[in-house]
Amino acid sequence: MRPAEGTHLLFLDDQGVLFYEPAQKLFHLNTTAAFIWCLLEEDKNSEEISAELQTTFAISAKTASNYLSETEELLQSLGVIQGFEDTSNSDAADNARTPLEPADYNDACFIEERYYHLLNTHLRVRFSDPAQIPRVDPILAHLHDNTLSEYSTTLDILADATGNIRLYRDRVPVFYCDDIIKLGPLAKSLAWQTAVDAYDFFIDIHAGVVGDGEHCLLLPAAPGSGKSTLTAALVHHGFEYFSDEIAMFQEENMEVCPAPLAICVKDTATEVLSRYYPQLPELCLHLRGDEKWARYMPPPPTSIPPTNSLRPVGAIIFPRYKPGETTLIEELPPAEAVESLMRECLIVDTHLDREKVSSLLKWIDRTPCYRLQVSDLEEAVDLLRALSRKITNSPKSN
């Protein structure tokens, strides 16, 4: 075995993190795999590696052979061994879009237009049917900016005689849906994609983000973990609202900027959040692409920080909803935090190299990380409020 060209082994909290630059991927290696990788970098052959394993870990020749065989299969499957290279492209499209014909409409078909400001992007959205406006505008209403004299991008929503709806960005077709109940999520997604594409950032992580005026708390989690519900509850209790789904980092200092899109509340969470937001049940229901019903709740105006605000991350908290269990928070080793982050749709908007990955790992190593088990929402909020106060009052913070 020989390492594939462009692979780098880095360490975090005495754990190995393997960075494969051609495919822009990171892998967490356990102690044995990291040890074997170091020997591969030294051009050791199988017999030499087996002998080193026996001596270092005080194991039998048979056990060493098994470790080596299992690790070889693992590294080959990861595509980081010569002859087994991962040729996937990190820039490949995630999903195939419905093919659409170029726009053949004229401006006369649009009955109304609205203006919105998100990140650095000034959007003009044009509607071709009155029924489209209550489906889209309430989702973006808190981003209204009717003082705009110029706009950078136009998003057009065009319905045909059969009820099919097409969404265009600067006259280029992007999305299609066959029912107006699906329009809201697509319009939100298109506005978001447009703003992100025009914004200069280092990485983004699928996470809720709330601020306390000095720092922000990062809540990375997979869909269905209760992340948006927890974010909404924290905002009700006085935290700033940055986002319920994305944390966008600047490369220089790893600070996070606000991207305050409407909070996505799945229909199943409406009841629990209605005690904080009584207006929630009255909001329009939308059907998302994953066939889940959701409402989009504009954040309270007082919770939105200024557009150009940047906050350092005070802590990374991985929430998980566990009904019937005890609500508790516990510290998480940095290596486990990295592994968890890799599962939470970490997206990089620049070509990573060894230096940038090393900076990312050092940031995680110095940032407190926690696992939060949530059963009672109020108890979870109290735990995070206490954590926020602890971070603010810590000597390092001051």
Q: SS3 string of the chain?
A: CCECCCEEEEEECCEEEEEECCCCEEEEECHHHHHHHHHHHCCCCHHHHHHHHHHHHCCCHHHHHHHHHHHHHHHHHHCCECCCCCCCCCCCCCCCCCCCCCCCCCHHHCCEEEEEEECCEEEEEEECCHHHHHHHHHHHHHHECCCCCCCCEEEEEEECCCCCEEEEECCEEEEEECCHHHHHHHHHHHHHHHHHHCCCCCEEECEEEEECCCCEEEEECCCCCCHHHHHHHHHHCCCEEEECCCEEECCCCCCEECCCCCEEEEHHHHHHHCCCCCCHHHCCCEECCCCCEEEEECCCHHHCCCCCCCECEEEEEEEEECCCCCCEEEECCHHHHHHHHHHCCCEECCCCCHHHHHHHHHHHHHCCEEEEEECCHHHHHHHHHHHHHHHHHCCCCC
Q: How many CB atoms lie within 10 A of CB 155?
A: 25
Mean per-residue pLDDT, 222-240? 89
Structure tokens at 283: 């909001």
Cα–Cα nearest to 283, from 138, 144, 182, 179: 138
Question: Which stretch, 17-31, 76-90, 230-244, has highest mean pLDDT?
Answer: 230-244
Mean per-residue pLDDT, 356-381? 90
**Mean pLDDT, rounded, of the chain:** 86
Q: Would you state the pLDDT for residue 98?
A: 45
Top-confidence residue, 145 or 191: 191
Q: Predicted confidence band at 396 (pLDDT cuts at 50, 70, 90)?
A: low
* Per-residue pLDDT at 315 exceeds 80: yes
Q: Would you state the pLDDT for residue 194?
A: 92
CA distance 368 to 392: 13
Top-confidence residue, 60 or 27: 60
Q: Would you state the pLDDT for residue 128?
A: 95
Percent over 90 (pLDDT), the chain? 48
Mean per-residue pLDDT, 33-50? 90
* Half-sphere exposure of residue 122: CA atoms within 13 angstroms, side-chain side: 8
Give 101-107 contacts, CB < 8 A, sequence gap 24+: 101/173, 102/171, 102/172, 102/173, 103/156, 103/158, 103/168, 103/171, 103/172, 103/173, 105/156, 105/158
Q: Do the Cβ atoms of 148 and 117 come closer than 8 Å?
A: yes
Q: What is the pLDDT of residues 85-115, one digit of tens each?
A: 876 543 333 333 444 455 667 888 999 999 9
> What are residue 318's phi and psi, to 5 degrees?
-100, 100
**Pairing assessment for the beta strands 216-220 and 313-321 based on DSSP bridges:** parallel
Which residues pair with residue 165 across a beta bridge? Answer: 159, 177
